[in-house]
Amino acid sequence: DPVATPDISTCGPADLPQGANVLTCCPPPSNALPVDFAPPGAASSSPLRTRPAAHSVTADYAAKFNAGIAAMKALPADDPRSFAAQASVHCAYCDGSYSPEGFPGAELQVHNSWLFFPFHRCYLYFFERILGSLIGDPGFAIPFWNWDAPDGMRMPAMYADRSSQLFDPRRDGRHAPPKLIDLDYNGREPRFIDDQQIDHNLRVMYRQPNQGPGPVENIPHGPVHIWCGDPSQPGREDMGNFYSAGNDPLFYAHHANIDRMWSVWKGLDARRHTDLADPDWLDASFLFYDETPKLVRIRVRDVLDTGALGYRYQDVPLPWTAARP
C-alpha cells in the first residue's frame, strides 16, 4: 500500500535527543481538510523559476532572499508560513511526530527510504512559494549550495555574514569560509590541503550519483549536515540533527542541491536512470501548507518533474562526472 498521508490532527511528541530544547514539532493545526495539489499547469504563463548557485548570486538577489527570510521570521510561530513553523515541518516528519492515517502506532519517517527525495522536494517547493509570496515575487527561486563543484565547496558567503538573516550561530565556527567542505566528513577534520580536498570531494561525488539516488542520502547528504552543525551543542544542532536542521537557513540550500542531484542523476543517463514505477511509491503523499496558507495533499507522482512544478536549476558544470577514481 502507498504510505498514507500523515494524520496531522494527531501530531504527537517527537523522539528528540537528550537536551533538545523544543517542546513540540507539530506545525500549526488546520481547521479545513486538505485540498489535493494541482500543478501550476502549462496554462500558467509564468516562466520557469531558475534556482541559482548560492555562491554566484548578485547582491540584489541576496538582498531579496534576505528580505524573504526576514519576512518569514517576522511571522508568529502559529502562522504556518513562519520560518519557525517551516523549520518544525522537518522535525515533525523526521522525528516521528506523525503516524500515517490509519496506523496510529507506526511512526512516519521520511529518511532512509525512497521517500527521501520526493519529501524534501515538496518541502522546498512550498517553502519557495511562501517566501516568494511574502516578498511579492512569485517568480523568486531559492538558491542551491553547489558543493559538488570547486567554486561552491565553501559555505556560501551570504550565509556566513553575521549580520544576515541567513546566518545561524549554531554552526561549526571552524567551518566558516574560506574552509573547504569535506563531502564525506565524519566528525574528524581531514588533513588535506585545498587541492587535495577538492580532488577528494570530486571523487566522493563521482561514486555517489552513479550508483543511483539511494547512496546520495548517506553521502554527501549526511556529512554536509554534520559538517555544518555546532560540535559544542549536544546534538550538533542546528544542521547536525533532524529535529533542528530546518532552523538553519543553510538547510534549504543544502537540500536544493540534493534535489538538484535527483535531476542531474536522471539527466546523466535518461534511458536507464528512471524513477521507480511502483504505485505504492508514486501514490505516497504528504501534507504541506501553501502560501495562502491552505493545507495541500501532494503525492510523489506530482513531483517527479521539476518543470511541472515550475522550476529548474541553473546549468552549472559537473566536474565530478570526470573524476573517475
**Is 94 a binder of ligand C2O (CB under 6 A)?**
yes
C-beta of 259: minimal distance to ligand C2O in Å? 11
The C-alpha cell at 59 is 547582491
Asked if 200 is an active-site residue, the reply is: no
SS3 220: helix
Supply the minimum distance, in Å, between the C-beta of residue 288 and ligand C2O. 14
- Could you tell me the smallest distance in angstroms from the CB atom of residue 108 to ligand C2O? 12
Closest C-alpha to 223, from 207, 243, 239: 239
Tell me: is residue 254 an annotated ligand-binding position: no
- Known catalytic residue: 221? yes
- Residue pair 118/280 in contact by the 8 Å Cβ criterion: no
Bridge partners, 100 (sequence order): 6
User: 50: which DSSP letter?
Assistant: E
Q: Is 90 annotated as a binding residue?
A: yes
Q: Which is nearer to ligand C2O, 120 or 260 (CB)?
A: 120
- Which residue out of 117, 119, 120, 254 is catalytically annotated? 120
From the list 55, 175, 254, 255, the catalytic residue is: 255
Residue 273 a catalytic site member: no
Active site residue 120: yes
Q: How far is the CB of 157 from ligand C2O (least distance, A)?
A: 22
What residue ranges in 22-96 does DSSP mark as E strands? 35-36, 49-51
Residues contacting ligand C2O: total by CB under 6 A = 8
What residues numbered 250-279 form the site for ligand C2O, per CB under 6 A? 255
Half-sphere exposure of 142 (CA within 13 A, CB side): 28
Catalytic residue among 116, 126, 127, 242: 242
Q: Give whichever of 245 and 253 is closer to ligand C2O, judged by the CB atom.
A: 245
Q: Is 111 in the site for ligand C2O (CB under 6 A)?
A: yes
For ligand C2O, the binding residues in 147-176 under the rule CB under 6 A are none
**Helix-, strand-, coil-residue percentages of the chain, each rounded to 5:** 40, 5, 50
**Beta bridge pairs of residue 180:** 154
CA–CA gap between residue 218 and residue 77 (Å, rounded): 31
Return the residues of window 201-230 that contact ligand C2O according to CB under 6 A. 221, 225
- Report, in Å, the least distance between residue 13 CB and ligand C2O: 19
Residue whose CB is nearest to ligand C2O in the complex, by number: 94
CB of 254 to ligand C2O, least distance (A): 7
Three cell numbers, residue 169: 550561530
Identify whether 225 is a catalytic site residue.
Answer: yes
Active-site residue, selected from the candidate residues 55, 83, 90, 175: 90
56-64 contacts: CB < 8 A, separation 24 or more? 56/146, 56/151, 57/143, 57/158, 61/143, 62/158, 64/135, 64/137, 64/140
Residue 221 in marked binding region: yes
Q: Which is nearer to ligand C2O, 170 or 198 (CB)?
A: 170
Q: Please, what's the b/e burial string for 10-28 (b: 16 or more CB within 10 A of its CB; e: otherwise)?
A: ebeebebeeebeeeebbbb
CB atoms within 10 A of CB 287: 20
55 marked ligand binding residue: no
Residue-level length of the chain: 325
* Of 238 and 290, CB closest to ligand C2O: 238
> Of these residues, 103, 111, 200, 273, which one is catalytic?
111
**CB-based contact 185:226 (threshold 8 Å):** yes
> Among the options 55, 175, 225, 254, which is catalytic?
225
* Residue nearer to ligand C2O on the CB measure, 171 or 225: 225
How many other C-beta atoms can be found within 10 angstroms of the C-beta atom of residue 312?
Answer: 15
Cα–Cα dist 212/2, whole Å: 22
Q: Which residues are catalytic?
A: 90, 111, 120, 221, 225, 242, 255
Binding residue ranges for Cu cation: 90, 111, 120, 221, 225, 255
- Which residues of the shown chain bind ligand C2O in the complex (CB under 6 A)? 90, 94, 111, 120, 221, 225, 245, 255
